[in-house]
Amino acid sequence: MNQPVPLTPLEIHLCRWLAKKRGEENRARGVTSVKQCGESDEAIDLQGIGGEMAFCKLFGLWPDLNYEIRSKARGEDLGDCWCEPLGWVDVKTTRAGKGYLNIRRPSRVGYYALMEGDFPEFCFRGLIPAADAIRPEYIKDVGNGPYWAVPASALKPYKPLWVPK
């Protein structure tokens, strides 16, 4: 689906608040950033939360508004939202034109989803089962450690519940 999913002023306000709270919590707990680009942590948090919000809006789901730190390594981070019948979904967000679903640390989720765009407007690019995303042919390293870069062409469509006007 290539139609934009714009966020409303209230959704934008909620994303900004949540990005701020998650950033404060991360700094207070000494969490290290695993970012792949030169943007600030705050900008990356806002972009990611915006993508999560747009995905949930598109599929009629409620986003995870928790800002407490949950560890993937300890199995505490189950993903960004629960989507029947898929299970837990980890929503990844990329800037317009990048076209890759990047996974630094695999989650215990059933699916990964890719939202593409610039805050506060995103497009849904597709889903991929977690087992299909974590494959050797998708591993890349641009100098700061390996990660999986799943091309948008490997993603599968999924019918949304909400259709933008």
**Closest by CA position to 65, among listed 87, 80, 46, 48:** 80
Task: Kindly report the pTM of this predicted structure.
Answer: 0.88
46 belongs to a structural domain: yes
Render pLDDT for 11-44 as a digit per residue (tens, 0 to 9): 999 999 999 998 888 888 877 766 556 788 889 8
Write the pLDDT tens digit of every residue in 59-111: 999 888 887 776 556 556 678 899 888 899 999 999 867 789 999 888 889 99
- Look at residue 165 and tell me if it is in a domain: no
Task: Choose among 36, 38, 45: nearest CA to 17.
Answer: 45
User: Residue 161: inside a domain, yes or no?
Assistant: no
CA-nearest of 87, 157, 83 to 125 is 157
Q: Is residue 159 part of a domain?
A: no
Q: How many domains does the chain have?
A: 1
Instruction: Please tell me the number of Cα atoms within 13 Å of 97 on its side-chain side.
Output: 1
Q: Mention every residue, 6+ apart, whose C-beta is less than 8 A from residue 43.
A: none
Is 162 a member of any domain? no
What pLDDT is recorded for position 34?
A: 60
- Where do the H-state alpha helices sit in 30-164? 41-59, 130-133
Q: Which domain holds residue 45?
A: 5-154
